[in-house]
Amino acid sequence: MTNYSNYQELFEKNKNGLYLANTNDLQQSRFLPLLQRAEDAIKKMIVKYLWENKSVYDLRNIIRAYIEDFDKNKLPKDIENRQSYILGLYQMSNKVYDEQMKARKEFSIVLGLLVSAYALKGLKTPKINAPEELAKFIVEHKKEIVNLDMWSQAKASVRVQQYPKKIEEYIKRTSEIPTLAVEEGKKPISIWQKAELDIRHEKQMQMVRDAQASGDDLYYISSHPDCSKRCEKWQGCLVSVTKRAKNPQKSVKNFNYNKESFKVGQIDGIPIYSLKDILNCQTGYGYNNNIIGGFNCRHHLIKYESGKKPPKEYSAEDVKKMREINDQIRLAERKIREMRTQQLMFKQVGNRKEYMRLDREIAQAIRNLREYCDKNGFAFQEYRVK
């Protein structure tokens, strides 16, 4: 097991002393699964109605009623920009609907080709009402279908034979359609990113307000080795929580800050920067994604005391190594959530084979993630893969 304790003293830990790849806030652990369940429920409803050839009008009313109930009774009232989550659910619903309408159209075409081919041969097909029934029939009668020689085009035969795999692809693509938080003038981001930003942001801003009200103006920004690129230049720096720079940088690309433009003085030979101006610098896509106030930022303020050592500086190699671990954990979490959504939809359409395959793969993916977290001294956060 890799031991990072010698240079991670300011990195957040859980009660068991394991490092957290994500902020394990109690509210976050309840809120994020709530959003995931809403997304999964909507996708299941759309698949059910369109695969069972039910009324599109009824489907739209049911989705609208579900989102309105989610807005009224489930989504916390004190979440920042809560309407962005609701708009995101509507947008995701429309994309899933469009994708599954393609599946519904493909079902009609393939069924028509198959029935016509059998009819020309003097044969009858059983009554087939849903895509999973058609896929099952094609698999069970593969030899018979391959030997049909009256296709008007070779492509028709291929289209019929490939249908079972095609509908599995529709399910997989649908499971990967994200719910994005939609705000005017900002690049859409996933609702998970948005939730982490909003929940953490309020806590961070309260910390800044408390510092400003304390009467103490100078603070160090804490350091940790897995910091994001947006934080790397600022962690460990000394900042003023009240002063403003004369001509600070207003926006930045790729987090290439001109640090001198934020400078407001120095003390004991240490440069001082304006925290207010850092927080107000626009980083792109309409967001002020800076240290302290940025997406899921874990940095905190440490009161300056003359003669006291500043937060430890980390080498670029340390930062890169820990960032890669953090990124791998998040990637694994996303993949597991996508597989769970796929599994729910395969269960909805009665595809037991794919359901059981995913059940095994999810279990293995969770074991792998647990081992990876243990190996690198990070906590496995189960709520993020439910």
* Same domain flag for 85 and 200: no
* Same domain flag for 15 and 37: no
Mean pLDDT for 59-63 is: 95
At 2, is the pLDDT very low, low, confident or very high (cuts 50, 70, 90)?
A: very low
Question: Which of the listed residues 146, 179, 212 is the one where a domain comes to its end?
Answer: 179
Question: Which of the listed residues 179, 203, 233 is the one where a domain comes to its end?
Answer: 179
Mean pLDDT for 121-136 is: 87
Domain that holds residue 344: 5-24+323-385
The rounded mean pLDDT for the chain is: 83
* Same domain flag for 290 and 214: yes
* Same domain flag for 31 and 168: yes
What is the distance in angstroms between the CA of the first residue and the CA of the last residue of the chain? 26
Asked, for residue 52, whether it belongs to a domain, the answer is yes
* Same domain flag for 209 and 157: no
* Same domain flag for 168 and 243: no
Question: Which of the listed residues 264, 286, 316 is the one where a domain comes to its end?
Answer: 316
Asked, for residue 345, whether it belongs to a domain, the answer is yes
Q: What is the DSSP letter of 248?
A: -
**CA-closest candidate to residue 219, choices 300, 279, 281, 314:** 300
Asked, for residue 125, whether it belongs to a domain, the answer is yes
* Same domain flag for 201 and 339: no
pLDDT score of 170 = 92
3-state secondary structure of 297: coil
Q: In angstroms, rounded to a whole number, what is the distance separating the alpha carbons of residues 67 and 96?
A: 15
Structurally, the chain folds into a number of domains equal to 3
* Same domain flag for 172 and 257: no
Asked, for residue 184, whether it belongs to a domain, the answer is no
- Integer-rounded Cα Rg, in Å, for the chain is 27
* Same domain flag for 69 and 160: yes
CA dist list (Å): 264 to 272, 293, 304, 358, 375:
6, 20, 16, 56, 43
pTM for the full predicted model: 0.72
| Structure-derived torsion over alpha carbons of residues 14, 16, 18, 23, reported in degrees to the nearest 10 | -10
* Same domain flag for 174 and 91: yes
What is the percentage of the chain residues whose pLDDT exceeds 70? Answer: 87
pLDDT score of 3 = 32
Kindly tell me if the per-residue pLDDT of 10 is higher than 60. no
* Same domain flag for 199 and 297: yes
User: Mean pLDDT: which of 152-161, 283-292, 324-333 is highest?
Assistant: 324-333
pLDDT score of 53 = 85
Who wins on pLDDT, 25 or 53? 53
Q: In angstroms, rounded to a whole number, what is the distance separating the alpha carbons of residues 313 and 269?
A: 17
Asked, for residue 10, whether it belongs to a domain, the answer is yes
| Residues 324-381: tens digit of each pLDDT | 888 899 899 999 999 999 999 998 888 888 999 999 999 999 999 999 999 988 888 8
pLDDT score of 23 = 46
Kindly tell me if the per-residue pLDDT of 199 is higher than 50. yes
pLDDT score of 297 = 78
| Structure-derived torsion over alpha carbons of residues 362, 365, 370, 372, reported in degrees to the nearest 10 | -170
Kindly tell me if the per-residue pLDDT of 155 is higher than 70. no
* Same domain flag for 266 and 280: yes
Asked, for residue 66, whether it belongs to a domain, the answer is yes
Q: Which of 45-59, 265-279, 313-327 has the lowest mean pLDDT?
A: 313-327
The residues, any chain, with a CB within 8 Å of residue 185's CB and separated by 6 or more, are: 286
Structure tokens at 303: 């009161």
Asked, for residue 127, whether it belongs to a domain, the answer is yes
